[in-house]
Amino acid sequence: MKQKSTEVFIPGPAGRLEAKYFKNQKEKSPIAIVLQPHPQYGGTMNNRIVMEIFKSFVDNGFSVLRLNFRGVGKSDGTFDNGQGELSDAAAALDWIERENQDFSQCWVSGFSFGSLICMQLIMRRPEVSKFISVSPQPNVYDFTFLAPCPISGQIISGEKDELVSKESILDLSSRLQSQKGIEVKFDEIKNSNHFFKNKEIELNKIIDQYIKEKTEIM
């Protein structure tokens, strides 16, 4: 049976935010939010990679929310160069936590620009237990704020990402993997571009496996 998500509107700092929400009925279900790619390049919560990540969380027993940042779709406000979008993501996290007060784990994930917001959010929210960052762009955005990265997670990149230099991913990897007390798993998908064209199945498998491994202990 297909799992259905419902449209919700949540209060955000610039007005209401349009979101899709799937509620797992099991007690103490883990929760997750999924963050969209760049709004000024056509990114929305209905991006196919965002949908793949969302589905992986649903299939693994999470209550999960994906949202349109301010100015996208039916969300109020206008693009704010990342600062406002970080506030939107924090508001989404507040909302899903209120809806699931007995949650067992809290995950944050994002694709491309959304992965930057995801990584900024984990620095501010100590209740987040894991992250999944897909196609980050450390050659475009400064990731030195991860000093240190507070939690373990997964970073996935395409081997032939046309928007990200290999050196910048290797540099991020060596910096994060030298940190003690956390484990960041770097996965590279062979022959894949930034958007994982024709590689969605491999992407889904890698995400699914990581979620299963890290939620087994519940």
Output the tens digit of pLDDT for each of the chain's 218 residues: 466 899 999 999 999 999 999 999 999 999 999 999 999 999 999 999 999 999 999 999 999 999 999 999 999 999 999 999 999 999 999 999 999 999 999 999 999 999 999 999 999 999 999 999 999 999 999 999 998 999 999 999 999 999 999 999 999 999 999 999 999 999 999 999 999 999 999 999 999 999 999 996 54
* 108 vs 29: CA distance, rounded Å: 15
pLDDT digits (tens, 9 = 90+) for 61-116: 999 999 999 999 999 999 999 999 999 999 999 999 999 999 999 999 999 999 99
* Amino acid at position 32, single letter: A
Helix (H, G, I), strand (E, B) or coil at 190: coil
| Domains of the chain: residue spans and CATH | 6-215 (3.40.50.1820)
pTM of the full predicted structure?
0.97
